[in-house]
Amino acid sequence: MAGRELWIATNNAKKLAELRRLLEPLGFVLRTPAELDRPFAPVEDQPDFAGNARRKAELLARLAGGPALGDDSGLCVDALDGRPGVLSARYGGPGLDDRGRLLRLLDELAGVPADRRTARFVCSLCVCAADGRVLAAVEADCPGTLLTAPSGAGGFGYDPIFVPAALGGEPAQSFATLDQATKDRLSHRGKALRELAARLPAVLGR
């Protein structure tokens, strides 16, 4: 697999950094939409993470003429009937940044007791060939709970309020307080990428 090119269907620099950490040690040469001479602007209008991941991967694979990996992920909050879900990166409208969306979510959860602040991060990955065919697709999640205030300066998105269930104990540690290796081991994206990586040699060829 050394040196095998894989296009990454994201314009999110922080998400790309996570993907690089997890895929480059496996021998992939990651390429990004910034290298294209045309814009990459997928419309994320599918009802689930898998549909959006496929749409991103298919569009970039056709534009780039090579295999592409699409990632769609988000936070599903039980007390909010699964919101923000597929709208996680756009929650509250275009006027909000990551911090604004996080605070909007906390406002919606005001008064919700600790035992009902359960949630899960979901990551859906899809790899498409240059002709748009789906070569592989996986989905993984990470259950946890939500803090009442942000904690930690690492990560991105809703990481500062999400405490993975696998850690347990006190004090509660959000994704944003963890070192990169620990987060990658526990996270939805880390789980999905490890499962996908095991399949890639067969679907992409050695």
Q: Which residues are catalytic?
A: 72
Tell me, rounded to whole angstroms, the distance of Cα 174 from its chain centroid.
16
CA 25 – CA 188 distance, rounded (Å) = 19
Q: In whole angstroms, how far apart are CA 179 and each of 113, 137, 154, 169?
A: 28, 28, 8, 17
CA 65 – CA 1 distance, rounded (Å) = 19
Produce one character per residue of 52-64: b if its CB has 16 or more CB atoms within 10 Å, e if not: bbbbbbbbbbebb
Tell me, rounded to whole angstroms, the distance of Cα 58 from its chain centroid.
17
Q: What are phi and psi of 187, to 5 degrees?
A: -75, 160
